[in-house]
């Protein structure tokens, strides 16, 4: 195994914290992985990995070497791309994870054009809202809604989604039209509440009042964790909801739902593409991120 392949193997062991998982990820025999790391450590004259029966972690020297390996591999990929006669057409597998509803609305309808433009790229697309460990799972980038958590990852904001509060005409006829957020409580309004599938916590209703954010928890007889069920319950008159406008644009246009408290809309919801630092130089990742940013910027405005 040459030095570059040994570095690539070492980085995957660190990221996956396992010889066995790295071997499977790179389609190598377990014995080859063990032997290659022993050779690498002997050549460098330091111990890179701390092994136990259950866990593999990098030593202090291993962490320093890992950081250098990541930079070197990114630089090598960028250098090869720069001098490749086919540099305008990047090649290789991209593993991505998209927020499902966003992807189906904004991206998937345009996917054939992307693949036609970049015939050398192969995509493996996961969809969902689960927390993804990009480094350990070997995922190149994710598309997520909300403010990204503080981390060592790169987050590029690609859109801001308008949010609206709405209800069905039948619900408003029965409960009355609120003029201010305060009237939601004083008039006894009900909500279809949305709860997090991971934490079980209900999301509050947010409003901008005199330039300040105000959050309210409204009572309701139904709580869901599915966007489709959320919209359906609202259309059936079970309560107010608050959602990105693109989700329910068709309902609003047909009159199935009505926006309320439009002058108190919550702040726009940010959408970001998130990827590891060591992937920011990859041309494959760059063209995908630029494509997502262009589509989201045009179609969410």
Let me know if the fold of 3-82 is the same as that of 92-158+270-299: no
Q: Tell me: the pLDDT tens digits for 46-98?
A: 999 988 777 888 898 988 888 788 778 766 766 665 555 455 578 888 889 99
Residues with pLDDT less than 70, the chain: 74-75, 77-88, 129-130, 135-136, 150, 278-281, 299-301
**Stretch (H or E) spanning 271:** strand 269-275
If you count them, how many residues does the chain have?
Answer: 301
Quote the CA–CA distance of 81 and 90 in Å, as a whole number. Answer: 8
What class is the 3-82 domain? mainly alpha
| pLDDT for res 80 | 64
CATH number of 163-267: 3.40.190.10
CB 8 within 8 A of CB 26: yes
The full DSSP string for 143-163 is EEESPPPSSSSEEEEEEEE-E
Neighbours of 181 (CB within 10 A): 18
Q: Tell me: the pLDDT tens digits for 164-177?
A: 999 999 999 999 99
Domain range list for the chain? 3-82, 92-158+270-299, 163-267
Residues 6+ apart with CB under 8 A from 38: none
Q: Which residue in this structure is represented by tokens 């054009």?
A: 113
CATH number of 92-158+270-299: 3.40.190.10
Q: What is the pTM of this model?
A: 0.69
| pLDDT for res 111 | 95
């Amino acid at each position: 195994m040459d030095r570059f392949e040994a570095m690539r193997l070492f980085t995957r062991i660190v990221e996956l914290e396992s010889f066995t998982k790295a071997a499977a990820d790179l389609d190598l025999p377990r014995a080859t992985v063990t032997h290659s790391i022993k050779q690498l450590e002997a050549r460098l004259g330091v111990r890179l990995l701390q092994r136990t029966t259950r866990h593999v972690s990098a030593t202090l020297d291993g962490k320093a070497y890992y950081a250098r390996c990541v930079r070197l591999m990114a630089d090598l990929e960028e250098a090869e791309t720069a001098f490749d006669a086919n540099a305008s057409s990047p090649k290789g597998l991209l593993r991505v994870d998209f927020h499902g509803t966003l992807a189906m609305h904004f991206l998937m309808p345009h996917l054939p054009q992307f693949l036609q433009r970049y015939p050398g790229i192969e995509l493996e697309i996961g969809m969902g809202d689960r927390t993804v460990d990009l480094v350990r799972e070997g995922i190149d980038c994710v598309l997520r809604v909300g403010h990204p958590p503080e981390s060592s990852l790169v987050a590029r904001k690609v859109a801001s989604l308008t949010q609206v509060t709405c209800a069905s005409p039948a619900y408003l006829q029965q409960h009355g039209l609120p003029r201010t957020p305060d009237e939601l409580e004083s008039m006894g309004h009900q909500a279809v509440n949305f709860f997090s599938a991971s934490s079980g916590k209900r999301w509050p209703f947010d409003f901008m009042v005199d330039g300040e954010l105000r959050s309210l928890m409204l009572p309701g007889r139904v709580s869901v964790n599915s966007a489709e069920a959320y919209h359906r319950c609202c259309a059936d008159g079970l309560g107010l909801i608050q959602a990105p406008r693109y989700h329910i644009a068709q309902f609003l246009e047909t009159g199935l739902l009505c926006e309320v408290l439009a002058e108190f809309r919550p702040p726009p919801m940010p959408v970001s593409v998130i990827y590891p630092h060591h992937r920011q130089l990859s041309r494959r990742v760059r063209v995908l991120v630029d494509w997502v940013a262009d589509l989201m910027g045009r179609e969410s405005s």
